[in-house]
Amino acid sequence: MDQINEFNKLIEFIDNNKQNNEKDNDNLLDDINHLINYSTKYEELNNLIGFDVNQFKKRLKQELINDHIKKQSYDRPYISITELLECPRRIYYERKKYDIDLKNSFYFVYLKLSAEIGNTYHKFIQENYDFTETEKTIISEHYKTKGRVDAIKNNFLYEIKPVDQKDIKDAYNIKHLYQCSIGAYILNNSYDYKIDTITLIYYIRDNFRKDPISFDYKYDEQIGKKFLENALILYNCLENNKLPEKSNNKDDCKYCLYKKYCLNKEDKNKLDNKEEILFLL
């Protein structure tokens, strides 16, 4: 009798699942039709002359180009903390003012908007929590390095970063910990602080209804010291016009504006062959 009941339950489950699948298919078709209609209306709206999107994007791109040119005019006697997290060779090319094709650069024109949103989130968190210090500028004369830390409270050093909702599970980024470790080292050794804990705070960039999330890490002095020693190497390369080693992280090369200078002949051949194979496939 029990076997018969179990069998009937199985049949009932299959029938219900079949009905649910049919409903899901109907919903999917509705979603597709809605998306098609929306896309059509979006194109129609985008063709109106009241607001020229292309003109808007051109202006945004020009502002990014102007910011790049302005940055190149600055006198920068120190290596920045964020530069220590990037490819040293790219920093060398940028600081030595190597030419780049500005017209074919800066494809993501909303970069400045993204930065403005980030600054607003930063300021909101900083002003609504009982940090003892925020936006503190720090300098290490010994390591020729300068930076700014987001917030400090007692023996905690804080870094505030964005993350999209779909990436919450992968929010933690080792570079963020490195950045704080450099700052903590400078604070402890140049300003007599006693930082022993690093807290990374992530705000949900695309959903402000979600609470921020945070991670605490024990401060490791050796991490900060290692990066600051690299700062001296980069500083000496800049002073002596000596090209530094490039990053081992291939992702750093993906959108690099100075790629054409960096790749040697052998690397270019490999890249060309790879692109050709991908194209054929």
Residue 277 lies in a domain: no
DSSP letters along 112-144, please? HHHHHHHHHHHHHHHHTS--SEEEEEEEETTTT
106: Cα within 13 Å, side-chain hemisphere: 21
Residue 107 scores a pLDDT above 80: no
- What's the structural domain count of the chain? 2
Rounded to 5°, the CA angle 149-61-257 comes to 70
pLDDT at 215: 93
Question: pLDDT averaged over the chain?
Answer: 82
DSSP H/E element including 204: strand 197-204
Q: Do residue 43 and residue 74 come from a single domain?
A: no
Whole-number Å distance between alpha carbons of 219 and 180: 9
Are residues 117 and 41 part of one domain?
Answer: no
Same domain, 117 and 18: no
Both 201 and 106 in one domain: the answer is yes
Which pLDDT belongs to residue 167? 85
Average pLDDT over residues 67-94: 90
Same domain, residue pair 91 and 221: yes
Model confidence at 16: pLDDT above 80: no
Task: Please check whether residues 34 and 173 belong to one and the same domain.
Answer: no
pLDDT cut 90: percent of the chain above it: 47
The residue type found at 146 is: K
**Helices 88-95 + 221-239 axis angle, to 10:** 40
Q: Are residues 40 and 69 in the same domain?
A: no
Say yes or no: 157 and 223 in one domain: yes
Confirm whether 271 is domain-assigned. Answer: no
Give 214: exposed, middle or buried? Use CB within 10 Å, 0-12, 13-18, 19+.
middle
Domain residues for the domain of 39 are: 1-48
199 and 106 within one domain: yes
Question: Do 19 and 147 share a domain, yes or no?
Answer: no
Distance CA 165, CA 212 (A): 11
Coil/strand/helix, residue 218? strand
Span 155-172, average pLDDT: 88
Name the residue with higher pLDDT: 77 or 28: 77
Task: Give the residue with greater pLDDT, 24 vs 28.
Answer: 28
Residue 163 lies in a domain: yes
Is the same domain home to 33 and 151? Answer: no
Residue 125 resides in a domain: yes
Q: Give Cα separations from 171 to 122, 184, 203 (angstroms).
A: 17, 21, 10
| Residue 270 located in a structural domain | no
CATH number, position 76? 3.90.320.10
**Domain assignment present for 73:** yes
For 220-242, the three-class secondary structure string (H helix, E strand, C coil) is: CHHHHHHHHHHHHHHHHHHHCCC
All residues at 6 or more sequence positions from 176 whose CB lies less than 8 Å from its CB, including other chains: 159, 161, 200
Q: Return the pLDDT at 40.
A: 65
156, part of any domain: yes
Instruction: Read off the tokens for 92.
Output: 């060398």
Q: Mark whether 112 and 31 lie in a shared domain.
A: no
